[in-house]
Structure 1
Amino acid sequence: MKNAGTSQMFLAGWACCSSDETLSSRLRFPVALPDKRRIPASIRRRTSQAVQLALSAGLMACENAGMNPADLPAIFASAGSEMQVTDRLCIELAKPDGLISPTQFHNSVHNTAAGYWSIATGCRQPSTSLAAAEATVAMAWLEAWCRLQSGVQSLLVVCYEEIWPEYLEPGVGLYPAAMAWVLSGSPEKARATLGRPHPSGAKLEGDDAKSACECPALAAAPLFRAVSLGKTGDVALGAGWSIPLKFRGADE
């Protein structure tokens, strides 16, 4: 049954993972290592760091929410996505006798994570893959809100980034990370409530601004921290956008 549409999003589960063990202390909330055992071996062998991070975080969030991954429409958001694969392909294309790997070629599209998610989980629900530079995280949340308004019952949001080739944009893509949330248009099983993302002019500050530059997916770090600590209020998403967050029992 479809959700009738609501101005609120209800948070059922969340997860964050990174292969960089230093991020947890830097971000001040728990960051798990990717659990590659959750990903079928046939997929692990031919996927990138970006895909493995996205799938790990998504599966962890679904488990945290107690929901079946195969039942959830999904939004996969990444400013760069398959940067390493695309860079290698471009290097080969520039050679007079360059050889293109078929596996790398089919992994070079922006919706690679969404495709492998469908294969790994057996999910046949719709998926969206998006990129919007420094506004990628904010646009992922806006897309999620719009999807729930349109009648989707529940969905998965994954923001992820792998390490970028150093010379492409120095100072960006220094850390690999993925954050995932399971959302619903119904308050059943809700652990927190999120409102409509909106332009607010709010800026990421201090370490959060630095982290979001070094790994665009970490523009979601303030929200993840607020969720982890149970803090209510308007939370910055980067690029001048914010989202209201409220926990059950919090004062109006």
Structure 2
Amino acid sequence: MTALTVFIDGVGLVGPGIADWAQGQEQLAGRAPGQWLKTVLTAPAHLPPAERRRAGAVIRVSQTVGFEAMAAAGLEAQGLVSVFTSSGGDGVNCHEICTALASDDRLISPTRFHNSVHNAASGYWGIATGAMATSTALCAFDGSFAAGLVEAVTQAVVQAEPVLLVAFDTDYPEPLRSARPVPDTFGLALVLSPVRTAHSLGQITLHPAHYLSSGVADVLDDAVLEAQRQSIPAARGLPLLAALARQQAGVLRLDYLDGCCLELVFNPC
């Protein structure tokens, strides 16, 4: 089967102790230590005021990294195909709905209801950008980043056009946190192009015949960043960003489904 090759033209990143790709790049390259500080999210400035007031962490994190990656790639969002992937969607919204259902009146607010769908981030992206291109929302539990990457790479190659990949997770309040202990919000976005451009930072190649590996996923040297990788599903993509930050070629193995890893080849540009 033919290998699938794409180029990383833009990166967006936010997480515990990481404000953006520039700061994350320093940590992932080993030039600055990782810091586990509470993730800081800004209001989604591109949304109309009414939608901005309704936007929870899922919308804020996805738009923060999406716009950062898109700007770095020098692209407009209107015609950009997108893939949104998350292990569980909006944890706080899920908690509030469960709380309402456990109360005496059991009434759920319309805002809570429409924010509960898994493609909420994709929908708000369309509102903020006016994007009319195809958008995919998927979930593969702890393997959601790898699943999203496979989908985005495949779409970029097959459709011969750039694709925006946005991976994110948000924390859950108690008592859900005891069952799903995601400790904080994390977001990662990549603009993947089927051809090399002036913005290209690195190249990813997937070999469909053997892109799944039974080996152990790559780990990070920095203990704080490795703790994020292990505890927040969207952060499973950090080894790829570490290779990009260090411009280090090689075979990478990322956590995917139980008992297997996603194997890809990375080369710097």
Q: State whether residues 236 and 243 of structure 1, in contact with CA within 8 Å, keep that contact through their aligned partners in structure 2.
A: yes
Report the Cα distance in structure 2 between the residues aligned to 1:42 and 1:94, rounded to whole angstroms.
Answer: 28
Uncovered stretches (5+) of structure 2, i.e. residues with no partner: none
Alignment of 1:225-236 (within 5 A): 225-236=242-253
* Partner AA of 1:28 in structure 2: Q
Pick the aligned partner of 1:10 from 7, 11, 14: 7
Q: By how many angstroms is 1:50 displaced?
A: 1.3
Q: By how many angstroms is 1:223 displaced?
A: 1.0
Report the Cα distance in structure 2 between the residues aligned to 1:242 and 1:63, rounded to whole angstroms.
Answer: 28
Alignment of 1:187 with 2:196, yes or no, is yes
Partner of 2:116: helix, strand, or coil? coil
Q: State whether residues 81 and 133 of structure 2, in contact with CA within 8 Å, keep that contact through their aligned partners in structure 1.
A: yes
Uncovered stretches (5+) of structure 1, i.e. residues with no partner: none
Q: State whether residues 153 and 184 of structure 1, in contact with CA within 8 Å, keep that contact through their aligned partners in structure 2.
A: yes
Aligned to 1:215: 232
Partner of 2:12: helix, strand, or coil? strand
Residues 66-100 of structure 1 deviation map (CA, whole Å, 9 limit, x = unaligned): 11122211011110111211221122112231221
Q: State whether residues 9 and 193 of structure 1, in contact with CA within 8 Å, keep that contact through their aligned partners in structure 2.
A: yes
Q: Over aligned residues, Cα RMSD in angstroms?
A: 2.6
Partner of 1:110: helix, strand, or coil? coil
Report the Cα distance in structure 2 between the residues aligned to 1:234 and 1:184, rounded to whole angstroms.
Answer: 20
Alignment of 1:199 with 2:212, yes or no, is yes
Partner of 1:243: helix, strand, or coil? strand
Q: Which moved more, 1:49-58 or 1:181-190?
A: 181-190
Report the Cα distance in structure 1 between the residues aligned to 2:75 and 2:176, rounded to whole angstroms.
Answer: 39
Aligned to 1:241: 262
Partner of 1:71: helix, strand, or coil? coil
TM-score by length of 2: 0.81
* Partner AA of 1:137 in structure 2: F
Q: By how many angstroms is 1:34 displaced?
A: 4.0
Q: State whether residues 57 and 158 of structure 1, in contact with CA within 8 Å, keep that contact through their aligned partners in structure 2.
A: yes
Alignment of 1:155 with 2:163, yes or no, is yes
Q: State whether residues 44 and 59 of structure 2, in contact with CA within 8 Å, keep that contact through their aligned partners in structure 1.
A: no
Aligned to 2:184: 175
Q: State whether residues 38 and 56 of structure 1, in contact with CA within 8 Å, keep that contact through their aligned partners in structure 2.
A: no
Alignment length (residue pairs): 243
Aligned to 2:150: 142
Aligned to 1:52: 60
Partner of 1:129: helix, strand, or coil? strand
Q: State whether residues 93 and 112 of structure 2, in contact with CA within 8 Å, keep that contact through their aligned partners in structure 1.
A: yes
TM-score by length of 1: 0.86
Partner of 2:4: helix, strand, or coil? coil
Report the Cα distance in structure 1 between the residues aligned to 2:191 and 2:252, rounded to whole angstroms.
Answer: 18
Alignment of 1:58-69 (within 5 A): 58-69=66-77
Aligned to 1:90: 98
Counting aligned pairs with the same residue, the percent is: 26
Q: State whether residues 39 and 56 of structure 1, in contact with CA within 8 Å, keep that contact through their aligned partners in structure 2.
A: no
Provide closer, same or farther for how the CA distance between residues 231 and 60 of structure 1 changes in structure 2, counting only shifts above 3 A: same
* Partner AA of 2:11 in structure 1: W
Q: State whether residues 172 and 181 of structure 2, in contact with CA within 8 Å, keep that contact through their aligned partners in structure 1.
A: yes
